[in-house]
Amino acid sequence: MRMKVLITGAAGNLGTILARHLLAQGSDQLRLMVFHRAVAGDLVVPGRSEIVHADLGKRETLGPAVKGIDVIVHFAGVLFKAHPERFLPTTNTAYFRNLVDAANEHGVRKVILISFPHVEGPTTFDNPARGRLDGRPISWHAKTRLEEEQYLFANVQTPVSLRVGMVYGRGILMIDAARWLAKRRLLGVWKDPTQIHLISKEDFCVACASAISNDHATGIYHVGDEGKITLQEFLDLACEQWGTAQPWRMPLPLIYTAARLCEIYSRLTGAPSPLTRDFTDTGRVSYYGDTARFRELVPSLRYRTVQDGLATL
């Protein structure tokens, strides 16, 4: 029997990638929830997918989106905008509460939240994130995502949080942006090493699909590969793969200044801000998760380390 899966933020980057993966599998019936943007044309498959328009800020619009659904996978959110402290408590925390409340009203048994290890605050190879809900995150994106997790586990019958490391591969917006900048000798990174946890695009999709289909999946899973690498080392490897010069090593205050200028431009023009100070707050914090439980979902990775998956960049 096919499961009925709702993907929120289905027009976004990771939502689109997961929807394509699930459609290629052929096992689930998808409901793709959008608000402003349209989904990619190849995601419209008669008999396999349907599009629903709903506003997470208006709970009365969510009933038709969640009715008859078995599993919700939540991606929707606002990213490329200045002053996240002004809107994320609403667009992350409050909007997610609306979704969970609507799901409960209509008997949805499982909600999967796409989260990240930063919700536990700084973590490292030697002191990894272990699935705690009482962390001390630094950025507003991480603070409000932790609030979402706390509401999820207090109010959903089968709650799942996938704390995903950095997803890499062609088609991932941040990776594509880094490649564009590197080819123009504009890519820079701060000097101090930042430990990160990576996961390939392919293994990320397999993890999400497993969390959807596995009836026993519940709780917090740190989604990451077996490698241990810093952000600086990863960007150096990526640039070598792309045939470009290695990224500039820049003073952190200079990067914050660039973020501030991007925010000012965004505020004056209404255009998205490709870099924000909160993104920088998020990115400069080391993060690494204990993947012992993750192996319950994905016993064997296609790309165990980024060295195995360099060709996917």
d(CA 265, CA 284): 23
Confidence class for position 1, pLDDT limits 50, 70, 90: low
Distance CA 69, CA 109 (A): 9
pLDDT band at 131 (very low <50, low <70, confident <90, very high): very high
How far is CA 184 from its chain centroid?
27
39-74: per-residue pLDDT in tens?
899 999 999 999 999 999 999 999 999 999 999 999
Report if residue 87 sits inside a domain.
yes
- What integer pLDDT is reported at residue 80 of this predicted model? 66
| 118 lies in some domain | yes
Question: What is the extent of the structural domain holding 122?
Answer: 3-168+199-224+287-305
Return the minimum-mean-pLDDT range out of 92-106, 111-125, 222-236, 253-267: 253-267
Residues in the chain: 313
Q: Is residue 273 part of a domain?
A: no
Instruction: Tell me if 35 is assigned to some domain.
Output: yes
- In whole angstroms, give the CA distance from residue 148 to residue 130: 17
Structurally, the chain folds into a number of domains equal to 1
Residue 241 has pLDDT above 80, yes or no: yes
- Closest listed residue to residue 14, CA positions, set 113, 159, 82, 126: 113
Sign of the Cα pseudo-torsion (11, 15, 20, 24, in order): negative
The answer to whether position 255 is within a domain reads no
Q: Helical H runs in 156-200?
A: 173-183
- Beta strand spans in the chain (E): 3-8, 28-34, 49-53, 71-74, 110-115, 158-164, 166-168, 188-190, 195-196, 198-200, 219-223, 229-230, 248-250
What's the confidence (pLDDT) of residue 149? 98
pLDDT value at residue 292:
96
Q: Looking at residue 269, what is its pLDDT? A: 85
Q: What's the CATH number where 93 sits?
A: 3.40.50.720
The residues with which 32 forms a beta bridge, in sequence order, are: 7, 51
The residues pairing with 30 across neighbouring beta strands, listed in sequence order, are: 5, 49
184 domain residue, yes or no: no
Going by C-alpha positions, the residue among 84, 210, 94, 100 that lies closest to residue 155 is 100
Strands 229-230 and 195-196: antiparallel
The Cα 226–Cα 165 span in angstroms is 12
Q: What is the mean pLDDT of the chain?
A: 93
